[in-house]
Amino acid sequence: MIDVILKIALTLFSLTIAISFYRVAKGPSMPDRIVGLDTIGVNLLSMVAIISILFGTKAYLEVILILGILSFIGTIAFSKFLERGVIIERKSNR
Amino acid sequence: MKMNNVILKTTTQVVFFIIFLFSIHIFLAGHFAPGGGFVGGLLTASALVLLLLTYDLKTVKNLLPINYMTLTAVGLLLALGTASLSAFFGEAFFMHYFDHFNIPLLGDTELHTAMIFDLGVYFVVVGVTMIIIQSIGGDE
């Protein structure tokens, strides 16, 4: 019973990733693609959680946190590049 | 143009410590669970990259005055020292030792010399990643 529900959830999440990938590939502007990639990251994280329930293992729980951290840092780096043109500044003018 | 990114700075001040603690947890869990020196080092480097993204190169250098070349050298020295320790006792190269100790707060704990080798890997990974990112990102 729960296996069927989890597999349905996996299918829906992969559908979400496919729709987000359409936005990444087609998106007219650069921020559209960045938001699409962030959405793909969050949905991938949920898929890892469901797969770890399906396999009955706790070994994948670190993957979820690491994916969240990396997606966060990647999105910040992309948006800073769009906003200022540089990712790491040499010296800020505060 | 002057940008006031107070949300990013406040978020970084909280999230940096969470990522750093998680990297130490991953590093210590490496013997019995997924993790280890490599992933822990990469996570620590990503926490430092988050600091570099939020502030600038000079502020981070003032905040954490670490020479990453020295850190890489210390890591390599730790790995080599642990590997050659057993050679001095007349045993095979890379022989590891472990024993159970009674530590006051933790109770019965298994300490292993492979941990020191892992610490060397951790230092090398952090050092090399930060050298690459700082020398690429610091260009005008």
Contact A76, B9 (CB under 8 A): no
| pLDDT above 70 for B12 | yes
A19/A30 Cα distance (integer angstroms): 17
Give the distance from residue B5's alpha carbon to the nearest chain A alpha carbon, in angstroms: 11
Partner residue facing B34 (CB), from A59, A88, A91: A59
Answer whether A82 touches B (CB < 8 Å).
no
Give the distance from residue A37's alpha carbon to the nearest chain B alpha carbon, in angstroms: 19
| pLDDT above 60 for B110 | yes
Instruction: Break chain A into its structural domains and give their ranges.
Output: 2-84
Q: How far apart are the first and last CA of chain A?
A: 59
Rg of chain A taking only CA atoms, in angstroms: 17
Q: By mean pLDDT, which of A46-55, A83-92, B74-83, B86-95 is the weakest? A: A83-92
Partner residue facing A62 (CB), from B34, B50, B138: B34
| pLDDT above 70 for B1 | no
DSSP-assigned letters across all residues of B81-107 = HHHHHHHHTTS-TT---EEEEEETTTE
Q: Classify the complex by whether its ipTM is higher than 0.95, answering yes or no.
A: no
Cβ-Cβ contacts under 8 Å, A78 against chain B: none
Split at pLDDT 50, 70, 90, the class of B131 is very high
Instruction: Break chain B into its structural domains and give their ranges.
Output: 5-137
Give the distance from residue A67's alpha carbon to the nearest chain B alpha carbon, in angstroms: 11
Flag residues of chain A having pLDDT under 50. none
Cβ-Cβ contacts under 8 Å, B57 against chain A: 88-91
Look at B53 and A90 and tell me if their CB atoms are within 8 Å.
no
Contact B121, B75 (CB under 8 A): yes
Answer whether A85 touches B (CB < 8 Å).
no
| Proportion of chain B above pLDDT 90, given as a percent | 46
Burial class, A46, CB count within 10 angstroms (exposed 0-12 / middle 13-18 / buried 19+): middle
Exposure string for A72-88, b = 16+ CB within 10 A, e = fewer:
bbeebbbbbeeeeeebb
pLDDT at A46: 94
Look at B53 and A73 and tell me if their CB atoms are within 8 Å.
yes
CB-based contacts of B56: which residues, under 8 Å, 6+ apart?
A88, A89, A90, A91, A92
Cβ-Cβ contacts under 8 Å, B133 against chain A: 88
Look at A89 and B57 and tell me if their CB atoms are within 8 Å.
yes
